[in-house]
Structure 1
Amino acid sequence: MTSQARAAIILAAGQGTRMKSPLPKVLHPVGGRAMLDHAIDAAEALGCERVIVVVGNHSPEVRAHVVKRLGEGAIAVQDPPMGTGHAVLCAKDAMAGFEGQVVITYGDVPLLKASDIAPVFGGGEGVTVVGFEARDPSGYGRLLIDADGGLEAIVEHKEASPDQLKVTACNSGVMAAPSGLLFELLAEVKNDNAKGEYYLTDVVALARGRGAPSSVVFADEDAVMGVNAQGELAVAEALFQKVQRETFLANGVTMPAPETVHFSWDTEIGGGATVEPFVVFGKGARIAGGARIRSFSHIEGATVAAGAEVGPYARLRPGAELAEDVKIGNFVEVKNVKMAKGAKANHLAYLGDGTVGAKANIGAGTIFCNYDGFFKHHTTVGEGAFVGSNSSLVAPVTIGEGAMVGSGSVITSDVGPGDLALGRAGQQSKPGWAARFMDAMRAKKAKSK
């Protein structure tokens, strides 16, 4: 619980033209999750009782995204854009009735965590800014800090003097202030600057002029990096993956080549699991300790229990649930299928919409024919059943416990427990036919030359 109410205003009204993409900038993913959602996650983790996202009319997709997650009341519109100070002021009506601390963050800063932001709430009744020490400060606003450690002002790069440009303490753009003070200060901000915009940063000097203390807390430069172009998006993704890998290694996950493994924002892997090189985890993957994920596998929306083995070259899609000691081998795809303990599909199979009983064996080349062109249907393979290679099980269909399906069969009706099902044409042999055919074709080809 916090001692004072908290709220967040997330700025997401930028046009993002440098991304050169039809997808709005803040909806580009990092770790499989929209950058804007990362910002909302951080605000919620801070305990903010109100989260307002400032959007532009040029990006209806962003508005729809926010409404779906937070509701219409979370929307504030900036139109036309006139700077960051103006953007925050556009959220004033949406913040009506709120009394407490307001933090301002950004929809294109995906690596910023609640733990990086939280110190701004210790600044008391003034303005507190998140700063960072820049490796290269070019282009950033500079933090002018007095001898007592207080923040005197933030000077934009284009407005800075030569001496101020030597400062390496830079502004991340993230700041917090009491709600009442914030909007009073914003009403005083002018646009007499090089860009003709209303700078949010001007509130620091205005607060000092009122005698309100302004301060700065520092975060790591990587945590506050903004994304404005595809190259920066790739850098953010690389930093995100680096943190994920380090976290899983520290938690006891074995990865011989962690730099080749890619994770989603919500990947769960228990200590004692092994992940071989070149594995990709999409959204919703949950891997228990003791499982083994072999190389070149792709797992999304799937659950893998202890002792199970997946791959190499396997694909688990949403709804795949593998119990203990299940084996999914090379070039096997599993979608919305529950596989009980010890079941296996070792080679070249598609299993979609079904259940597979304990210790059942699915032969190479088996297909669950689950789609009739309009609807999906369920296939059930009973405990201990054996499905021969190159079989097609046309759903809805049930293979009973301990039943067998002969190789090459097309099964369209249920198979009883312990039964053998053969669904293929009888073999015929025509002596000499192949030799005569080939001789005739060779002669025909010779004449055509």
Structure 2
Amino acid sequence: MATALIVLAAGMGTRMNSDLPKVMHQVAGAPLFAHALASGAALSPDRVVLVVGHGAELVEATAKEIDPEISIAVQVEQLGTGHAVQQARAALDGFGGDVFVLYGDTPFIRPETLETMAAARTQGADVVVLGFDAADPGRYGRLIVVDGALDRIVEFKDASADERAVTLCNSGVIAADAGLLFDLLDGVGNDNASGEYYLPDIVSVARARGLTASVVTCDEAETLGINSRAELADAEDVFQTRARDAALEDGVTLIARDTVYFAYDTVIGRDSVIEPNVVFGPGVTVESGALIRAFSHLEGCHVSRGAVVGPYARLRPGAELANDAKVGNFVEIKNAQIEEGAKINHLSYVGDARVGKHANIGAGTITCNYDGVSKHHTNIGARTFIGSNTCLVAPVSVGDEAMTATGTVVTKNVPAGAMAVGRAKMEVKPGLALKLFEKLKAAKARRQKGS
């Protein structure tokens, strides 16, 4: 059966108190709506439609970066969830199959839950609604079940006292055949307290036509919606707890688990050790047996087996560490390949570069990769020794088994096996320090006397 996703992402999110559209706020380094797309991807959808509204251009541009094939529908007026789904009609013209409606501000629906809903459709339910038993039902819409079948969904503000006593609540996630979904929406009116077109009203329309509706339930935590900064913080906590638990289950050692922060796509191999206060930004893969030491920050990088990072290291996008490479304290790597066994142990910046196998980069080394307009590449050969406080002015190369003297400014290529020395000649002036201090102290005394 063909499948399509409609993800609703048009809301302003007034309670966020932000210039950003609500769905652009991030959990684990990804916009909220990206989490919904990732959940829906488990269904292998043939089409995906994102319904945007507030901040449409920004949301669309971000969505296209995530999935260039995604279709965009615009909800100009915010007239309710039913109206929002209607905006996807043109994008699904000619589509025959099931449609799942998800929400861009509800990031934690599990793929397994959507698969259960798909199974319910296969078993014959015309409309499938995702519900949950709420510890505190609050203002959620209520699912009214009669004789084992879903009879209707009632919004809190339109519910009677008896209906408000029901604890089975509506998540808003719905699955139905595409043609049927839009046909049912045509029968939905806006005669309610808000004057809006509610998507859940399709259940009553379906039942009135003699069609069947069923409920699939999930844990309440999956349905967490984000409407405020506090809820955003809660969502981050939920994600991090799940990610930490998964890492431990996969054989990763987290020495102080609550201080490690993962991104939505972090991958860490078994027998890796993560020390306290490590932050993973998007796009990080750490292979088995690596050690990430305390207070390091990694983003857009790859760390191979047996490599050691940190403490206090920063790996930026494009950093590639081969097996057994070592990047130590207060070292920053950006867009650079650090080959097997190479060491950059302290206080260095290596950007737009290659560091060859078993090279040793001394403290304070800098690749001067930017001329104010363009970036340039530095190539450091295998088994080289780069002396402390060397500046490598790119573009430049240092051949295999070459050496640079401490404090050298390298402005031209160094052949293999050669030694580069490029620093000012030092002179020693006997007694000059004492004379200079006497002069400075006398000047200071005169100033103080005059004031």
Give your verdict on TM over 0.5.
Answer: yes
The Cα shift of 1:5 comes to: 1.6
Conserved? CA contact 1:389–1:408, under 8 Å: yes
Letter of the 1:37 counterpart:
A
Secondary structure of 2:199's aligned partner: coil
State the SS of the aligned residue for 1:201: helix
Equivalent position of 2:382 in the other structure: 383
Determine the C-alpha separation between the residues in 1 that align with 2:424 and 2:316: 34
Aligned with residue 52 of structure 2, among 50, 55, 62: 55
Q: What is the CA distance between 1:261 and its match in structure 2?
A: 0.5
In structure 1, distance between residues paired with 2:387 and 2:55: 57
Alignment pair present for 1:37 and 2:28: no
What's the offset of the Cα at 1:176? Answer: 0.9
Q: State how 1:154-303 maps to structure 2 within 5 Å.
A: 154-303=153-302
**Aligned residues of 1:297 and 1:313 also touching (Cα < 8 A):** yes
The whole-number CA distance in structure 1 between the counterparts of 2:268 and 2:66 is 26
Q: CA deviation at 1:114?
A: 2.0
> How far has the Cα of 1:155 moved from its partner?
0.8
* 1:126 alignment partner in structure 2: 126
For 2:273, give the aligned amino acid: T
TM-superposition CA deviations, 1:307-360 (whole Å, max 9, x none): 110100000111111111111110000111111111101110000111111111
- In the alignment, the residues of structure 2 paired with residue 347 and residue 185 of structure 1 have an alpha-carbon distance, to the nearest angstrom, of 65
Q: Find the residue that maps to 1:144 and give its secondary structure.
A: strand
TM-score normalised by structure 2 residue count: 0.96
CA contact (8 A) 1:368 1:395 kept: yes
- C-alpha change, 1:70 and 1:324, in structure 2 (3 Å) is closer
Is it true that 1:152 corresponds to 2:151 in the alignment?
yes
Task: Tell me, in whole angstroms, the C-alpha distance in 2 between the residues paired with 1:71 and 1:349.
Answer: 38
CA distance in 2, matches of 1:97, 1:304: 46
Q: Percent identity?
A: 51
Write the distance in 2 (CA, Å) between the matches of 1:341 and 1:239.
37
Q: Which moved more, 1:291-300 or 1:5-14?
A: 5-14
- CA positional deviation for 1:379: 1.1
Aligned mates of 2:50, 2:115 — CA distance in 1: 19
For the residues of structure 2 that align with 1:72 and 1:288, how far apart are their CA atoms?
31
Alignment of 1:368 onto 2:367: yes
2:139 matched to which residue of 1? Answer: 139
Unaligned residue ranges in structure 2 (runs of 5+): none
1:212 CA drift (Å):
0.7
How far is 1:58 from its partner? 5.0
Number of equivalenced pairs? 445
1:367–1:230 distance in 2 versus 1, CA, 3 Å: same
Q: Which amino acid aligns with 1:145?
A: V
Q: Does 1:20 align with 2:17?
A: yes
Could you tell me how far 1:53 is from its partner in structure 2? Answer: 1.5
* Structure 1: tracts of 5 or more residues without a match: none
Q: Distance in 2 between matches of 1:215 and 1:362?
A: 65
Q: Which whole-Å deviations, capped at 9, do the CAs of 1:378-435 have from their partners, x for residues lacking one?
A: 1111111111111111111111221111111111111122222111011101111110
Q: 2-side partners of 1:80 and 1:439: how far apart?
A: 79
| C-alpha separation in 2, matches of 1:113 and 1:154 | 22
Residue identity matched to 2:378? T
Structure 1 residue 89 and structure 2 residue 63: aligned?
A: no
- Calculate the TM-score normalised by the size of structure 1: 0.96
Is the contact between residue 67 and residue 75 of structure 1 (CA under 8 Å) also seen in structure 2?
no
Distance across 1 between alignment mates of 2:210 and 2:145: 16
Secondary structure of 2:58's counterpart equals helix
CA change 1:393–1:443 in 2 (3 A) is same
Alpha-carbon shift at residue 43 of structure 1 (Å)? 2.3
- Tell me by how many angstroms 1:441 deviates: 1.1
SS class of match (1:249)? helix
